[in-house]
Every structure is written in structure tokens, then in C-alpha cells.
Amino acid sequence: MKPFTYRMRVPFYDVDSMRVVYHGNYVKYFEEARCAYFEALGLTYNDMEAHGFLLPVISLNIKYIRSCTFGQEILIDVVREANDNLIILHYTLRDAATGVKCCKGTTRHAAIDANTRELCFELPAPFLERLKAGEAQ
């Protein structure tokens, strides 16, 4: 599947006294890119909840390669791995000017019932259909 690319600039409040991004903020950058990816497909978290399910992160993996710094423009590529039971997203964070990789990671998401909080053993069909249709465009 082709990557969705999210562009952002590292804000001052995300860096330490050396102007280097605090390691925990990369998770936030993944989340920002993930929300933008879903919105580009016409799927917001509010829509998911209105349709009776939620999509929490069930696992997260990050590999830090090179530090990002204050003011740096970065690109975050998001690619979904084909799977009908989970949402598996792969992220590559890179410098916008040079293309040099700074970080990569993966999140896995399972659908849960919004009311009971019970695990759904497969993604809701309307959501999966919309996801696939949006990626095909």
C-alpha cells in the first residue's frame, strides 16, 4: 500500500534544553500522523465511536535512529499492513529537507465495542470497507 505522508515542524515545547525532541514525543507524532491518515480516508475517531466501536493502541514499537530538533521540518510516512482483524500501521519519520530517517515504528490497534469495551475479534465491516476504499483512491 502506498504511504500517506504527514508534514510537521518540531515545536519548542517538545524539546529538552539541548533542543532535542524528548523520546516520548515521537509517540505523539505517530498519533498526529495516524489521525491525519484516518481523516484523509474519511474516517475520524468520532465517526468510529458514533458507529459503536473504538480503536485503541494495543502495542507500540519504536526504533530511534537520529534525534529530531527544534524547528526541524519532518515527514511521517504511514503505511497500513493488510489485515482484517487488526489495524497495523508502520511509521517512518524523516527529515523533510534531506530524507534522512530519524525514527520508525509500528502501532497495532484492535476494535472494541464502545459500550461494553469488549474486544471485537475482527474489524467492523463498514469500517474495513471504507478503509480499503479510501486507500484504493
Residue ranges with strand state E in the chain: 4-9, 53-54, 57-64, 73-81, 87-95, 101-109, 112-113
The per-residue pLDDT for range 48-106, each reduced to its tens digit, is 898 899 999 999 999 999 999 999 999 999 999 988 889 999 999 999 999 999 999 99
Residue 23: per-residue pLDDT = 95
The strand pair at 73-81 and 4-9 is best described as antiparallel
- Angstrom distances, CA of residue 104 to CA of 18, 85, 94: 22, 23, 9
Domain spanning 4-136: CATH 3.40.50.620 = no
pTM of the model: 0.92
How far is Cα 66 from Cα 68, in angstroms, rounded to an integer?
7
The per-residue pLDDT for range 110-122, each reduced to its tens digit, is 999 999 999 998 8
Q: Domain locations in the chain? A: 4-136
Residue 132: per-residue pLDDT = 83
CB 69 within 8 A of CB 19: yes
pLDDT tier at 10, thresholds 50, 70, 90: very high
